[in-house]
Amino acid sequence: MGQAAILTVDDDPSVSRAIARDLRRRYADRYRVVRASSGDEALEVLRELKLRGGRVAVMLADYRMPHMNGIEFLEQAMDLFPHARRALLTAYADTDAAIQAINVVDVDHYLLKPWDPPEEKLYPVLDALLDAWQATGDKELPDIRVVGHRWSEPSFRIRDFLARNLVPYRYFGADEPEGRRLLEAAEAGPEAVPLVVTADGKALSRPTVQQVAEAAGLATNPGRDFYDLIIVGGGPAGLGAAVYGGSEGLKTLLIERQAVGGQAGQSSRIENYLGFPDGISGAQLTDRARRQADKFAAETISTREVVGLRADGSARTLTFADGGEVSAHAIVLATGVSYRPLLAEGVADFTGSGVFYGSASTEGPACAGTDVYIVGGANSAGQAALFFSRYARTVTLLVRGDSLEASMSYYLIQQLAQVPNIEVRTRCEVIGAQGDGHLQAITICDNKAGNKTTVECGYLFVFIGAEPRTDWVGDTLLRDDKGFIRTGTDLLVNGERPRGWDRDRDPFYLESSVPGIFAAGDVRASSVKRVASAVGEGAMAVALVHRYLEAR
């Protein structure tokens, strides 16, 4: 394909020449520097590159251009080269526009003009953008192909895993021509589905999620036996701890069971997170946080389930489901919570084949023209309703309580009220599910009207309550009656420290009943269930880890 391109777009000829000159001076031996004088001209260049199989590493666009400003150009350019890194050129007076660009088109950086000297103000930014692009690669043509059945829980599990881990892939139904060709090439029959074909042509029949992760190039094994800090759980709290642990020089390992980002990573839009007035998707926020953790050399492994925890003298040891172990000076538990299962007749039979827990954004396009039902009344359910309303004919939110006010943010309630194809039904619950091979209908009990009705339903998304993932800690740590980990002053009873506490001090604020083991985010008793607070607790946990290490 030749050299990848760095594209600059600026309507001021002198600025355009200057930035192209500076870029060629530094990058001409590795990249092709292309410049355009308008958004329209730049789009033509991108279309030609696309047709020729070219690659684009970075796009830099000036904000103040006539006819099509930099943000408008980048919005259209993303459709052609979604993996190219994006930067906005702006004057000091355009800072607000730069912030808007970061939110609207996920701009990676903005550069203030003038950028003299480039060694300080231009090249470090471009180096970082190019490093990030090279790390993810130019994945316009996904390497992994998946052959599955539309209404198959194992097929859904693989598709959902790849999507949540931001791994590009192509999906083909087993009854589609390309799906049949792949099965034939693999000398496999229908019993081999789901089939995963890797980049080098290796066919994996009914693989485990860990096998899929390894095929996708995701790390699944720790690089060492002992760390300064191990974090269990890759949601906002875990990512916050990984970023701060790595940035402060701790040898840090992040262990994630499913996909980095947790429940927040599945959110279609987070609108109350500080610094993003126009909102940001959970996937975008997760991707940025993961890149930050990588930048600071925090190691991440996925598809590893932790099943045991113990104190070995000054070390803290975790046991994996396969019997392997890894140890550290300190541990932060950030395992979050999982959605409570809907215990209605027949529902369990359709998990992954019409019934989904969480947003399952991979199912959005498939919901086109259908009637979608969502169970739950908290923010996650409201965000899912807004997301699926883009595709579905109707979205019905089934809420067991009398109203949304007690469980959902005001701004989200207002947004739901403005979408014509969203209906909110209160004092309702699902009591049954029916179907032949996949979900086709649900039975709803209307506690307000006192009746039961059965309605056609192909998609049911469940967001009811949250349970902490802490059964595996057993009696090692003190938990409350719901399973949340008790920390800090919650461990003191009448001023007495917890039984077995061997330090001449009270537990630190986020410290559990075992010194050196901390809890952050939703898994912690009395925590505030918000993304911002989880990130803050992850960062705070690292500060407390330092205090613990200094006082050992």
Q: Which residue has the higher pLDDT, 95 or 191?
A: 191
Average pLDDT, the chain: 90
Mean pLDDT calculated for residue range 16-22? 93
Please indicate, yes or no, whether residues 405 and 490 belong to a single structural domain of this protein: no
Q: Is 221 inside any structural domain?
A: no
Mean pLDDT calculated for residue range 361-381? 89
Please indicate, yes or no, whether residues 544 and 503 belong to a single structural domain of this protein: yes
Q: Is 69 inside any structural domain?
A: yes
Instruction: State residue 102's pLDDT score.
Output: 52
What pTM, to 2 d.p., does this model score?
A: 0.75
Please indicate, yes or no, whether residues 409 and 446 belong to a single structural domain of this protein: yes
Please indicate, yes or no, whether residues 129 and 41 belong to a single structural domain of this protein: yes
Q: How confident is the model at residue 552 (pLDDT cuts 50, 70, 90)?
A: confident
Q: Residue 317: enclosing H or E segment and its boundaries?
A: strand 315-320
394-399/422-426 β-pairing: parallel
Q: In sequence order, what E strands does 157-266 have?
A: 169-173, 195-197, 203-205, 226-232, 252-256
Least confident of 136-150, 176-190, 231-245, 322-336: 136-150
Sequence-distant (6+) residues with CB within 8 A of 150 are 173, 366, 438
Q: Residue 431: enclosing H or E segment and its boundaries?
A: strand 428-435
Q: How confident is the model at residue 1 (pLDDT cuts 50, 70, 90)?
A: very low
Q: How confident is the model at residue 141 (pLDDT cuts 50, 70, 90)?
A: very low
Contact 342, 328 (CB under 8 A): no
Residues above pLDDT 70, as percent of the chain: 95
Q: Which residue has the higher pLDDT, 100 or 180?
A: 180
Please indicate, yes or no, whether residues 17 and 123 belong to a single structural domain of this protein: yes
CATH of the domain at 39: 3.40.50.2300
Indicate the number of domains in the chain.
4
Domain boundary among 464, 486, 515: 464
| Residue span of the structural domain in which 454 resides | 347-464
Instruction: State residue 140's pLDDT score.
Output: 45
Domain boundary among 464, 492, 521: 464
Instruction: Give residue-wise pLDDT tens across range 97-128.
Output: 555 555 555 677 878 788 888 998 899 889 98
Mean pLDDT calculated for residue range 197-221? 92
> Is pLDDT above 70 for 139?
no
Instruction: State residue 48's pLDDT score.
Output: 84
Please indicate, yes or no, whether residues 244 and 328 belong to a single structural domain of this protein: yes
Please report, for residues 97, 124, 247, 251, 396, the alpha-carbon distance to residue 244 in angstroms, rounded to integers and kept in the order given: 29, 22, 5, 11, 41
Instruction: State residue 524's pLDDT score.
Output: 97
Half-sphere exposure of 60 (CA within 13 A, CB side): 27
Least confident of 274-283, 344-353, 440-449: 274-283
Instruction: State residue 97's pLDDT score.
Output: 54
Nearest CA among 329, 307, 304, 302 for reference residue 319: 307
Please indicate, yes or no, whether residues 329 and 356 belong to a single structural domain of this protein: no
Contact 85, 129 (CB under 8 A): yes
Please indicate, yes or no, whether residues 37 and 123 belong to a single structural domain of this protein: yes
Q: How confident is the model at residue 165 (pLDDT cuts 50, 70, 90)?
A: confident
Q: How confident is the model at residue 90 (pLDDT cuts 50, 70, 90)?
A: confident
Q: Six-digit token pair at 74?
A: 């980048």
CATH of the domain at 239: 3.50.50.60
> Is pLDDT above 50 for 514?
yes
Please indicate, yes or no, whether residues 235 and 204 belong to a single structural domain of this protein: no
Domain boundary among 136, 157, 185: 136
